[in-house]
Structure 1
Amino acid sequence: MSALFEPWSPAFVADPYPAYQRLRETGRVHWFEPTRQWLVPHHEDVSALLRDRRLGRTYLHRFTHEEFGRTAPPAAHEPFHTLNDHGILDLEAPDHTRIRRLVTKAFTPRTVSALEPTVRRLAAELVDGVKRAGGGDLLADVAEPLPVAVIAEMLGIPESDRALLRPWSADICGMYELNPSEETARRAVTASLEFSAYLRELIAERRTRPGDDLITALIAAHDEGDRLSEQEMISTCVLLLNAGHEATVNTTANGWWTLFRHPDQLAALRADHTLLPTAIEELMRYDTPLQMFERWVLDDIEIDGTVIPRGSELALLFGAANRDPARFPSPDTLDLTRADNPHVTFGAGIHFCLGAPLARIELAASFGELLRETPTLRLAAEPQWKPGYVIRGVHALPVEL
């Protein structure tokens, strides 16, 4: 199995899709010894297991580490786990239900819709910079700053502090890779402490001086007398930044890299901008920014005759599921007109991405602005992939006009 699945290999990270095809062809579930996980590559299984309540993002609501056959993380990593374990991405009911309900009261469809003019303005400013310079790095000049600025605007983070956010997020997200090193953990702990301290001050300030921002709304959110704790608010804000921009950044850069490699599809999109909504969904399917989503087995399950015992970990391969020919006709063909496109890029079930509507607004704004204002945009040099496999993206995307 390790011959097929090589998440630490630069060649595999650059193009995992041929290996995914072989994984799908050779079974529905595969044991991967280096990470001690069961790999699941088929769309039907991934979609069903995302909704299966016998699985969980955590097991601590039912078991201790010892009862579950796991070792507690080192005490030195505690600041990262405190931050991570109070966010809705890594919680299960009843905590997940309570916190998501309260967060949803603050992060409403109206809140997201009201951000659209701001997103469009920010995208226009960033693309104008690329246009004036005659090119640049699409990752650093557009893909990264747009979602960070949007989240910062939403949270009410002063412009002078926004440069702190991306490095904090990158260091924290390093822990989501497979078998992270001790140095990765150290950086994540430092970022967790610094980001938490920053948000604690900001929350205290908003308690005395409320504003028109999401932090103020999270403080005010209540339901039958229940409110978010300070730690839950901090973890929610960090999750909104991390989940709310890592995927958008990589969808933008990976998406343009895909378009440059498919000039016929790029030409069709340039000729007809009304294709943009289906094009964005297809780019998210074709080269998935989050390749893997892990879940714990809380009660024994069976997949294709293989019993997966309680205490195991499943690695749901989103990238493989999104190229499954059983669900997507001609899955390795980029088709920007693809209408039937139930990709799993945003997940499913109770952990379906809360920020999906905002991500779609950001992607429509940046892709739309680049298509309108830089019709001759082209690749200046082939990009190099970052070493990370789970959150997969390029170091830079050099472009010219």
Structure 2
Amino acid sequence: MDASADFAPWSPRFVADPYPGFAALRAAGPVHWFEPSRQWLVPRHVDVSALLRDRRLGRTYLHRFGHEEFGRTPPPPEHEPFHTLNDQGLLDLEPPDHTRIRRLVSQAFTPRTVERLAPVVRRLARELVDGLLADGGGDLMTALAEPLPVAVIAEMLGIPAADRGLLRPWSADICGMYELNPGEEAARRAVRASTEFSAYLRSLIAARRADPGDDLISALIVAHDEGDRLTEQEMVSTCVLLLNAGHEATVNTTGNGWWALFRHPEQLAALRADQGLLPGAIEELMRYDTPLQLFERWVLDDIEIGGTLIPRGSEVALLLGSANHDPDRFPAPERLDLARADNPHLSFGAGIHYCLGAPLARLELAASFGELLRRAPGLRPVAEPEWKPGFVIRGLRELLVEC
């Protein structure tokens, strides 16, 4: 079928509520060609879950093929700073490089490291909620959702407090390239941010080499395994990925999640009455309104999806938001159910690219939601929010509340 009628990622109306369109795609079949982005859309949970783990697909093809050999046009030379930075991050690598770097980074990103951050995360959440309460409300996005995860990952990396205002704008400009068919202006901003962020991190790495601290950058410098070490570019790319991936999901889960709770007052009341529901509620909020809606993969070897041959050289778009609303996997998926017991959502991905920062994201979300539930029992919205134009990374422009 022609997917363009049901899948309209550049339409504000679709971005505001993509789920009816997803339902139409799932009902129409397991895979659909989408000409505007020249991708195969995959909307069903069973297929998305399997393909996230399928090694015949990859985040890159350059470990096996050149651009021309794979039937693709190389990126323009002027985009090189973005691709140098992006293409050596864990999210866009395949084995053996992915295996080596993830093993090294994991040494410095252990559950104990994350747990050691718990008091810092709770203190930051408490201070930000203090400010929101003192003001009687405000924009939940700028008052809490955005500053908390940025401050946490900056603390983790050892970025000085005076420099932390640089991080969110750099991240936003780089992430603009992850949208479908980004334009030249988005590329220009991403290149500039990549250049500036890389130069900043190289300077910080040099300072940590001379004077190591108790931070992740210092740990990455010394991480080694059987003679392997991270190159400086791999360290830079890892730090940028940890910042970008380490806060975008948390920011948008916070905004999307509170907006979902406001629209389901009976669920919000149940959560306020029993905060023991909070861990499961966070999983359900991530499922219900997924912060990352789409994950792209290259087809490295011919595959078949539901009887359709997808040839090598194609690109598939795995629709995580659709998979998370698939009635074949989730009973009554359009219902927000904070007590949902069986919840294999795909918001953190799956397979070798499963989100390394998932434990940290859960810690941050538990801290911020917990503080607001305890200390702002009358929290309510004062206006219906607008959605940012991006679809792949989907979230609110602002969420105005009063306490």
TM exceeds 0.5? yes
Number of the residue aligned with 1:82: 84
- Could you give the per-residue CA deviations for residues 248-280 of structure 1, whole angstroms, max 9, x where no partner exists? 100000000000000010011111111101100
Number of the residue aligned with 1:25: 27
The question of 1:92 aligning with 2:94 is answered yes
Counterpart CA distance in 1 for 2:365 and 2:396 is: 17
Number of the residue aligned with 1:107: 109
The residue type equivalent to 2:302 in the other structure is D
The residue type equivalent to 1:156 in the other structure is G
Taking structure 1 as the reference length, the TM-score comes to 1.00
Structure 2: 5+ residue stretches without partners? none
Report the Cα offset of residue 108 of structure 1: 1.0
Of residues 255, 274, 277, the one that matches 1:275 is 277
Report the Cα offset of residue 131 of structure 1: 0.6
- Could you give the per-residue CA deviations for residues 166-189 of structure 1, whole angstroms, max 9, x where no partner exists? 000000000000000100000000
Equivalent runs, 1:225-244 vs 2, <5 Å: 225-244=227-246
Counterpart CA distance in 1 for 2:145 and 2:181 is: 27
Of residues 207, 210, 228, the one that matches 1:208 is 210
The residue type equivalent to 2:264 in the other structure is H
Identical aligned pairs, as a percentage?
Answer: 79
Counterpart CA distance in 2 for 1:149 and 1:304 is: 45
Of residues 190, 196, 199, the one that matches 1:197 is 199
Counterpart CA distance in 1 for 2:278 and 2:44 is: 27
The residue type equivalent to 1:174 in the other structure is G
Equivalent runs, 1:4-23 vs 2, <5 Å: 4-23=6-25
The residue type equivalent to 1:74 in the other structure is P
Of residues 4, 11, 14, the one that matches 1:2 is 4
Number of the residue aligned with 1:327: 329
- Could you give the per-residue CA deviations for residues 201-244 of structure 1, whole angstroms, max 9, x where no partner exists? 00000000000000000001000111000000000000000000
The residue type equivalent to 1:334 in the other structure is L
The residue type equivalent to 1:267 in the other structure is A
Report the Cα offset of residue 311 of structure 1: 0.2
Equivalent runs, 1:141-180 vs 2, <5 Å: 141-180=143-182
Number of the residue aligned with 2:226: 224
Number of the residue aligned with 2:400: 398
The two structures, once aligned, show a CA RMSD in angstroms of 0.4
Number of the residue aligned with 1:303: 305
SS, match of residue 296 in structure 2: strand
SS, match of residue 324 in structure 1: coil
Taking structure 2 as the reference length, the TM-score comes to 0.99
- Could you give the per-residue CA deviations for residues 43-92 of structure 1, whole angstroms, max 9, x where no partner exists? 01000000000000000000000000000000000000000000010000
Number of the residue aligned with 1:288: 290
Equivalent runs, 1:119-134 vs 2, <5 Å: 119-134=121-136
The question of 1:337 aligning with 2:343 is answered no
Equivalent runs, 1:54-73 vs 2, <5 Å: 54-73=56-75
SS, match of residue 2 in structure 1: helix
- Could you give the per-residue CA deviations for residues 145-171 of structure 1, whole angstroms, max 9, x where no partner exists? 000000000000000000000000000
Counterpart CA distance in 1 for 2:225 and 2:274 is: 46
Matched pairs, number: 401
Runs of 4+ in 1 over 6 A off after TM superposition: none
Report the Cα offset of residue 109 of structure 1: 1.0
Number of the residue aligned with 2:265: 263
SS, match of residue 64 in structure 1: coil
Counterpart CA distance in 1 for 2:168 and 2:278 is: 27
SS, match of residue 314 in structure 1: strand
The residue type equivalent to 2:75 in the other structure is P
Report the Cα offset of residue 339 of structure 1: 1.1
Number of the residue aligned with 1:351: 353
Report the Cα offset of residue 34 of structure 1: 0.2
The residue type equivalent to 2:280 in the other structure is T
Counterpart CA distance in 2 for 1:382 and 1:25 is: 30
Counterpart CA distance in 2 for 1:303 and 1:193 is: 40
SS, match of residue 5 in structure 2: coil
SS, match of residue 338 in structure 1: coil
Counterpart CA distance in 2 for 1:183 and 1:318 is: 27
- Could you give the per-residue CA deviations for residues 90-120 of structure 1, whole angstroms, max 9, x where no partner exists? 0000000000000001111111110001000
Counterpart CA distance in 2 for 1:152 and 1:140 is: 17
Report the Cα offset of residue 304 of structure 1: 1.1
Counterpart CA distance in 2 for 1:256 and 1:168 is: 26
Counterpart CA distance in 2 for 1:64 and 1:45 is: 28
Counterpart CA distance in 2 for 1:106 and 1:249 is: 24
SS, match of residue 329 in structure 1: coil
